[in-house]
């Protein structure tokens, strides 16, 4: 049974005064785990992640979704840093547990999130409890670190402490090929890092329960079976990354994992 979700929209965070939405499970009697979820390359597109954020919150996760601008002069680094600071300082106001924060992102946001876990110096050496990369590519420089995540892994960086890496990717993704997540999984496996890859039968938008609508030039919520199934799978992975083990049955996904759990 799904939990009722309270959505707090348009909160201002950081000196840049960007906006953030918070998806908060209602009626919790104790602090809940938190996911800070970054959108992709489109500037200020936190609304795109609304379907998957709500689905994760229904499983008992506080989900924070900030706007940020990848087209900013610094590639959005300031906004992303400010969102982390805001999350860490204000979790109690949203019923969140500061000891259980996962960092996640979709597309470019996924690369940005994974990079922080592997090379956290740009974030004051802060590391999340876990990191979730959704339909990301990891072979070019990330806006958070300026380094290439897969190179950071292959050079042995970020081994202590080992942050569990959860990857989700659509097998029919025409924007970022699923091979990009497979490559990162293999690199992490080679270093003995905890990693899992969950492949779902959908595309780049479907993995977050949306579809790209050309006339709007953005992703909007989708009711297509493949998107609903894949987005639900992604929500469950977000929940599992912070220790919630709600069951999800799927006939259209596969996973593999290695390393320590």
Kindly tell me if the per-residue pLDDT of 71 is higher than 70.
yes
pLDDT above 70 for 213? yes
**Counting runs of H as helices and runs of E as strands, what totals does the chain give?**
6, 11
Range of the domain at 131: 5-258
Give the CATH number for residue 156. Answer: 3.40.50.1820
pLDDT in tens, 218-230: 999 999 999 999 9
How many folded domains does the chain comprise? 1
* In the predicted structure, residue 210 carries a pLDDT above the cut 70: yes
Nearest Cα to Cα of residue 31 among 117, 125, 83, 100: 100
pLDDT of 257 higher than 90 = no
Q: Which residue has the tokens 């996911």?
A: 35
pLDDT in tens, 18-27: 999 999 999 8
- Per the model's pLDDT, the better-predicted residue between 111 and 120 turns out to be 111
- Residue 256, pLDDT > 70, answer no
pLDDT tens sequence across 149-165: 999 998 875 445 689 99
């Amino acid at each position: 049974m799904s939990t009722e979700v309270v959505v707090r929209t348009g909160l201002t965070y950081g000196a840049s005064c960007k906006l953030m939405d918070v998806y908060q499970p209602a009626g919790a009697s104790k602090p809940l785990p938190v996911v800070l979820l970054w959108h992709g390359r489109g500037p200020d597109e936190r609304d795109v992640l609304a379907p998957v954020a709500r689905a994760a919150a229904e499983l008992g996760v506080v989900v924070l979704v900030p706007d940020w601008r990848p087209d900013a002069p610094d590639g959005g680094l300031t906004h992303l840093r400010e969102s982390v600071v805001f999350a860490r300082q204000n979790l109690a106001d949203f019923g969140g547990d500061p000891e259980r924060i996962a960092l996640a992102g979709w597309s470019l946001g996924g690369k940005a999130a994974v990079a922080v876990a592997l090379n956290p110096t740009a974030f004051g050496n802060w590391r999340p409890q876990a990191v979730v990369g959704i339909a990301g590519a990891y072979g070019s420089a990330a806006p958070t670190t300026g380094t290439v995540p897969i190179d950071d892994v292959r050079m042995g960086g970020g081994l202590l402490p080992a942050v569990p890496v959860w990857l989700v990717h659509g097998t029919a993704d025409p924007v970022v090929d699923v091979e990009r997540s497979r490559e990162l999984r293999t690199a992490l496996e080679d270093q003995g890092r905890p990693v899992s890859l969950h492949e779902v039968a959908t595309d780049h938008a479907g993995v977050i329960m949306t579809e790209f609508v050309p006339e709007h030039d953005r992703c909007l919520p989708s009711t297509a079976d493949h998107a609903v199934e894949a987005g639900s799978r992604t929500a469950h992975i977000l929940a599992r990354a912070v220790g919630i083990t709600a069951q999800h049955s799927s006939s259209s996904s596969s996973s593999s994992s290695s390393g320590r759990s």
